[in-house]
């Protein structure tokens, strides 16, 4: 097989694999480099030049001329008598470097067959590199494909444009069930390089998938009019997303919901019924956190901005809603706002207060009851609320009805003082008072 036919055969194989003809020359050069090393060992006195357009393969070997009787290594040396026979070499001298042209067919059919195998390997490497580069540039893009396999490790494999995509178990929505032949939508999350080629990881569970769905479904987000500030998800169960409008004329939440809920319904449907809370952004931490805790409404928040922690106090009958099933609601609220949030009942919170409220100052508690409590070292509201109810009922003159009456009076006294303290804080911080009456708060 001459050089032209050899190149044409290689070029035809490359074309089948979608490799541009312009790359065939470099691939063939590397193939012959491999063949030369296999035949002669690690040498650097060979040069391979390939011209795919002309169908030419030229192999040159640089050799040092030596006396016939001094020939030691015919890979790097040539006897003087042989050097004189080389074309384009005139009167060679000992010690001179000459160039010998090697016919590719000198390697024989077996070597050429091996060359085709090496070429196939090189082509596969090029194909892998092309896939790697293409999908590296597509990270973050939503793709649609058909499930063709579900393996024992529960990874789902999806075919898209003759490329296999992998969705590991941890990238799936836990509440969904997948079947062969199903059409599935996901986002390209990562491209990993493995010994078997590129592994393209897709996800439906990542926050980025929800973000892209909103960008596709809500034109105002795609155009940058409405901005997604933060997202937190428990895939398949609940998500919270904070949005902000960069145009006062556009309602961020309304844009995401759409007319009669059309936009949000489309997203929820794609996520197999995942509940999505859309939260309007606020610069005021208290308002933002209160919104994030929806559907529960805190009575008040104690925020430590330096530590980024929050103590949220709720009515006793609303604490379960605030925490949510398996702690999902309060967990998401914390993640989406960036605060560590603790939720407690109002009755529990009251037990932490009242150190400076004395039982004897609370109206409605009789003198006899005050003395009875004092004998048991119960002198302040905090003492009463933190005491064991069973122990209080053992005090002479404190029956169940009396206990309930005193507990109510003590709790009211603590709440009254708290309200009074909050009013004083507002009076001393007129800016906070102005913000509290802003249109955003009313919204």
pLDDT, mean over the chain: 85
For residue 304, what pLDDT band results from cuts at 50, 70 and 90?
very high
Among 180-194, 372-386, 424-438, name the one with the lowest average pLDDT: 424-438
Q: State the pLDDT at residue 2.
A: 55
Q: State the pLDDT at residue 5.
A: 65
d(CA 424, CA 133): 63
Distance from chain centroid for Cα 394: 59
DSSP bridge pairs for 342: 311
d(CA 41, CA 178): 54
Cβ burial of 12 (10 Å; 0-12, 13-18, 19+) is exposed
CATH superfamily of the domain spanning 141-203: Nucleic acid-binding proteins (2.40.50.140)
**Quick check: helix, strand or coil at residue 284?**
coil
Q: Is the pLDDT of residue 313 over 50?
A: yes
Q: Where are the beta strands (DSSP E) in 273-432?
A: 275-280, 300-304, 309-314, 340-345
10 Å Cβ neighbour count for 40? Answer: 14
Q: State the pLDDT at residue 438.
A: 34
Q: Which residues of 259-276 are buried (b: 16+ CB within 10 A; e: fewer)?
A: eeeebbeebbebbeebeb
User: Degrees (nearest 5) of the Cα angle 362, 367, 368?
Assistant: 130
Whether the CB-CB separation of 340 and 334 falls below 8 Å is answered with: yes
10 Å Cβ neighbour count for 195? Answer: 4
Whether the CB-CB separation of 335 and 293 falls below 8 Å is answered with: no
DSSP bridge pairs for 240: 232, 277
Q: Is the pLDDT of residue 439 over 60?
A: no
Among 110-114, 145-149, 191-195, 439-443, name the one with the lowest average pLDDT: 439-443
What's the whole-number mean pLDDT along residues 117-146?
85
Name the fold adopted by 206-281.
Answer: GMP Synthetase; Chain A, domain 3 (3.30.300)
Residues of the chain within CATH 3.30.1480 domain(s) are 3-133
CATH architecture of 351-428: Orthogonal Bundle (1.10)
Q: State the pLDDT at residue 431.
A: 44
Q: Is the pLDDT of residue 257 over 80?
A: yes
Q: Which residue has the higher pLDDT, 307 or 440?
A: 307
Q: Hey, which CATH number is domain 3-133, 1.10.20, 3.30.1480, 1.10.287, 1.10.3470? A: 3.30.1480
Residues of the chain within CATH 2.40.50.140 domain(s) are 141-203
Token pair for residue 42?
């690690």
Cβ burial of 427 (10 Å; 0-12, 13-18, 19+) is exposed
For residue 430, what pLDDT band results from cuts at 50, 70 and 90?
very low
Residues of the chain within CATH 3.30.300.20 domain(s) are 206-281
For residue 339, what pLDDT band results from cuts at 50, 70 and 90?
very high
Cis status of the peptide bond prior to 52, with omega within 30 of 0: no
Q: Report which listed range, 49-63, 105-119, 271-285, 419-433, is most confident.
A: 271-285
pTM of the model: 0.63
DSSP bridge pairs for 302: 311
Among 153-162, 251-260, 331-340, 341-350, name the one with the lowest average pLDDT: 341-350
Q: Is the pLDDT of residue 284 over 90?
A: yes
Q: State the pLDDT at residue 286.
A: 94
Instruction: Provide, rounded to the nearest whole percent, the portion of the chain with pLDDT above 90.
Output: 49
Tell which residue, 221, 217, 213, 276, has the closest CA to residue 244.
221
10 Å Cβ neighbour count for 37? Answer: 13
For residue 217, what pLDDT band results from cuts at 50, 70 and 90?
very high
What's the whole-number mean pLDDT along residues 276-286?
95
Residues of the chain within CATH 1.10.150.20 domain(s) are 351-428
Token pair for residue 112?
């050429």
Token pair for residue 239?
């998500």
Instruction: Provide, rounded to the nearest whole percent, the portion of the chain with pLDDT above 70.
Output: 86
Token pair for residue 349?
């919170």
Q: How far is the CA of 41 from the CAs of 7, 44, 45, 50, 397, in angstroms? A: 24, 9, 11, 21, 106
**Quick check: helix, strand or coil at residue 37?**
helix
């Amino acid at each position: 097989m001459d050089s032209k036919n050899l190149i044409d055969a290689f070029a035809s194989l490359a074309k089948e694999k979608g490799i541009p003809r312009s790359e065939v020359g470099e691939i063939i050069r590397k193939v012959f480099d491999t063949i030369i090393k296999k035949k002669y060992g690690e040498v650097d006195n060979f040069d391979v030049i390939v011209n795919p357009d002309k169908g030419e393969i030229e192999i040159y070997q640089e050799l040092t001329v030596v006396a016939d009787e001094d020939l030691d290594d015919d890979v790097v040396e040539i006897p003087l008598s042989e050097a004189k026979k080389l074309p384009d070499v005139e009167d060679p001298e000992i010690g001179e470097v000459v160039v010998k042209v090697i016919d590719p067919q000198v390697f024989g059919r077996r070597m050429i067959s091996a060359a085709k195998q090496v070429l196939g390997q090189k082509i596969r490497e090029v194909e892998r590199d092309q896939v790697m580069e293409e999908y590296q540039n597509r990270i973050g893009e939503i793709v649609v494909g058909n499930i063709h396999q579900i393996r024992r490790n529960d990874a789902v494999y999806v075919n898209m444009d003759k490329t296999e995509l992998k969705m590991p178990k941890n990238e799936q929505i836990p509440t969904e069930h997948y079947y062969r032949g199903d059409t599935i939508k996901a986002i390209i999350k990562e491209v990993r390089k493995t010994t078997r080629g590129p592994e393209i990881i897709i996800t439906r569970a990542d926050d980025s998938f929800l973000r892209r769905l909103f960008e596709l479904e809500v034109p105002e987000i795609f155009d940058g009019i409405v901005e997604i500030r933060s997202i937190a998800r428990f895939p398949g169960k609940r998500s919270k997303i904070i949005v902000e409008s960069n145009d006062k004329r556009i309602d961020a939440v309304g844009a995401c919901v759409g007319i009669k809920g059309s936009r949000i319904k489309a997203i929820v449907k794609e996520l197999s019924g995942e509940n999505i809370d859309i939260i309007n952004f606020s610069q005021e931490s208290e308002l933002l956190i209160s919104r994030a805790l929806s559907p529960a409404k805190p009575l008040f928040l104690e925020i430590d901005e330096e530590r980024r922690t929050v103590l949220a106090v709720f009515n006793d009958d609303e604490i379960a809603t605030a925490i949510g099933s398996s702690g999902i609601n309060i967990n998401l609220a914390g993640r989406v706002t960036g605060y560590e949030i603790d939720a407690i009942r109002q009755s529990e919170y009251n037990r932490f207060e009242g150190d400076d409220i004395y039982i004897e100052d609370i109206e409605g508690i009789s003198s006899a009851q005050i003395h009875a409590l004092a004998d048991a070292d119960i002198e302040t509201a905090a003492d009463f609320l933190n005491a064991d109810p069973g122990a209080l009922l053992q005090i002479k003159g404190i029956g169940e009805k009396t206990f309930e009456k005193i507990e109510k009076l003590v709790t009211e006294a603590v709440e009254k003082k708290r309200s009074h303290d909050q009013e004083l804080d507002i009076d001393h911080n007129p800016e906070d008072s102005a913000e509290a009456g802003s249109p955003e708060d009313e919204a």
